[in-house]
Amino acid sequence: MGTETSKTLFSKAQTVIPGGVNSPVRACRAVGTTPLFVDRAAGAKIYDVDGNVYVDFVCSWGPMILGHGHPAVTAAIRAALEKGTSFGAPCPSEIELAELVVAALPSVEKVRFVSSGTEATMSAIRLARGYTGKNVVVKFDGCYHGHADSFLVKAGSGVITLGIPGSPGVPADIVKNTMSIPYNDIATLEKTLADDRLGIACVIMEPVAGNMGVVPPDLAFMRMLRELTAAKGIVLIFDEVITGFRLGLGGAQARFGITPDLTCLGKILGGGLPVGAYGGKAAIMDQIAPDGPVYQAGTLSGNPLAMAAGIATLKVLKEPGFYDRLEDKAATFAGALAKLADTYLPGQTTLNRVGSMMTNFFTAGPVTDFTSAMRADTARYAAFFRDMQAQGIWLAPSQFEAAFISAAQSPADLNLALDKTEWSFKKMANRPKSR
């Protein structure tokens, strides 16, 4: 089946929506195609408006860990819907979700719900600045923390994908307070944090980078980061918008045994509805209005439908063995994928995986930071993406994003993806590299 209806809709969308999309990577420019318009999604599959079906490895960029339309989540949303869609006043489900978050993440004593990951990170740095009385935010090259002004410095995700170095509209006066340093580079970290003249309020980190493709942290680096920030009174923020409830109930912080001061959450927390959150030590969180002077607010914050979806999702994730099964599935899949790469493209790819998130980089590797991620052959990834889409496998339309394993993917779904990968790699092996 073709994709003519999607193409027609895309032309129409471009007349009323900038670039025809509401988030840039979706435009699929980096892979030389145009977006598929989705009609519906169920379990491990998405169905486009032309009637094509795809095994979904994008999982809405992470949230759909249970697959699409999980019955418990759908039932919870339906029940909440019957009671009203937005109150602009507290509702009991906010407490229930907050209690689930606090129980899952021991570093989080109090949590504030917002409506997106971007809101969570921008609010967290405001809080860190208010708490410390300092201005500078340190981030890491290739990490992406949403699109707030302070973060658009050497950022990942769509910013790398589209090759945008910074963004017009972000005042120099704001980003002068953002320092971006290399991920996993202990020497630069030590030097930066040692300089008291900089006035560092916080360091924000993706504890597993997921927006320059998946890049695992070096544990020694993380430990040093925790030690130095604690010694200097710098607030350590983990952006667990992707890794939270993805790498285990306790996120990356539990997996690696490193405790941040503040944590940002989103994606899975909302069970597929728009939610973000930031939380941490009560002493810091109590600085937020109305208890403290740091202002942050939101009409749809704590939205009852989103709370219901989040609660239902977290309850399934808490079932015994959930993460062990997901980990096994991801490890088996990644093992088979690596074997295919070794057979057909030896020394030409690097598979980075942490739990159920992974990226197969088209470069010899190792990929440990932004510089090494940028060595990936994006033209090869684009060819691979197009092959996979044509064969019913839906991957992120960028080399610099993660592929996600969900609980809904069956062995047959994963084997189909491996078969199609083999077919594409075989073709690629007979073609010269683009660079």
Q: Which residues are catalytic?
A: 144, 239, 267
Closest of 139, 131, 177 to residue 280, by C-alpha: 131
57-68 per-residue burial string, b: 16 or more CB within 10 A, e: under 16: bbbbbbbbbbbb
SS3 content of the chain, % helix, strand, coil (to 5): 45, 15, 40
Q: Measured from the CB of residue 430, what is the shortest distance to ligand HOZ in angstroms?
A: 32
Between CA 346 and CA 10 the distance in angstroms is: 38
Pick the stretch among 18-26, 70-78, 121-129, 244-252 that binds ligand HOZ (CB under 6 A): 18-26
Question: Which are the contacts of 232, defined by CB distance < 8 A and separation ≥ 6?
Answer: 193, 196, 200
- Which residue number, 24 or 130, has a Cβ lying nearer to ligand HOZ? 24
Between CA 233 and CA 212 the distance in angstroms is: 29
Q: Measured from the CB of residue 25, what is the shortest distance to ligand HOZ in angstroms?
A: 5
Q: Measured from the CB of residue 42, what is the shortest distance to ligand HOZ in angstroms?
A: 20
> Which string of DSSP letters, residue by residue, matches 272-291?
TSS-EEEEE-HHHHTTBTTT
- Which residue number, 229 or 378, has a Cβ lying nearer to ligand HOZ? 378
Q: Measured from the CB of residue 419, what is the shortest distance to ligand HOZ in angstroms?
A: 27
Pick the stretch among 22-30, 80-88, 299-307, 330-338 that binds ligand HOZ (CB under 6 A): 22-30
The CA–CA distances, whole Å, from 162 to 243, 314, 380, 434 equal: 24, 34, 16, 19
Site string for ligand HOZ, 160-199 (x = CB under 6 A): ----------------------------------------
Q: Measured from the CB of residue 417, what is the shortest distance to ligand HOZ in angstroms?
A: 20
Residue where the block lists tokens 């094509």: 52
Task: Find the binding residues for ligand HOZ in span 24-83 (CB under 6 A).
Answer: 25-26, 61
- DSSP letter for 37, please: P
Pick the stretch among 21-29, 69-77, 159-167, 413-421 that binds ligand HOZ (CB under 6 A): 21-29
Q: Measured from the CB of residue 22, what is the shortest distance to ligand HOZ in angstroms?
A: 8
Beta bridge partners of 46: 41, 54
Interface residue with ligand HOZ among 8, 11, 23, 434 (CB under 6 A) is: 23
- Which residue number, 130 or 276, has a Cβ lying nearer to ligand HOZ? 276
Interface residue with ligand HOZ among 107, 121, 211, 421 (CB under 6 A) is: 211
- Continuous segment of H or E residues that includes residue 237: strand 235-239
Between CA 415 and CA 418 the distance in angstroms is: 5
Q: Measured from the CB of residue 99, what is the shortest distance to ligand HOZ in angstroms?
A: 28
- DSSP letter for 18, please: G
Q: Are 58 and 358 in contact (CB under 8 A)?
A: no
Cα-trace Rg, the chain: 21
- DSSP letter for 408, please: T
- Which residue number, 387 or 401, has a Cβ lying nearer to ligand HOZ? 401
Helices (H) and strands (E) in the chain, counts: 15, 14
Between CA 267 and CA 265 the distance in angstroms is: 7
Pick the stretch among 19-27, 31-39, 299-307, 341-349 that binds ligand HOZ (CB under 6 A): 19-27
- Which residue's Cβ has the minimum distance to ligand HOZ? 23
- Which residue number, 151 or 278, has a Cβ lying nearer to ligand HOZ? 151
- Applying CB under 6 A, the site for ligand HOZ has a residue count of 8
408: exposed, middle or buried (Cβ count in 10 Å: 0-12, 13-18, 19+):
buried
Task: Find the binding residues for ligand HOZ in span 265-294 (CB under 6 A).
Answer: none
CA angle at 238 for the pair 236 and 244, rounded to the nearest 5°:
155
Q: Measured from the CB of residue 270, what is the shortest distance to ligand HOZ in angstroms?
A: 13
- Which residue number, 234 or 382, has a Cβ lying nearer to ligand HOZ? 382
Q: Residue 353 CA to chain centroid, in angstroms?
A: 14
- Which residue number, 42 or 162, has a Cβ lying nearer to ligand HOZ? 162
Interface residue with ligand HOZ among 401, 404, 408, 425 (CB under 6 A) is: 401
**157 lines the binding site for ligand HOZ (CB under 6 A):** yes
Q: Are 61 and 396 in contact (CB under 8 A)?
A: yes
Pick the stretch among 20-28, 194-202, 374-382, 424-432 that binds ligand HOZ (CB under 6 A): 20-28
- Which residue number, 76 or 212, has a Cβ lying nearer to ligand HOZ? 212
Closest of 80, 57, 4, 125 to residue 403, by C-alpha: 57
Pick the stretch among 23-31, 179-187, 304-312, 374-382 that binds ligand HOZ (CB under 6 A): 23-31
Residues binding ligand HOZ (CB under 6 A): 23, 25-26, 61, 157-158, 211, 401
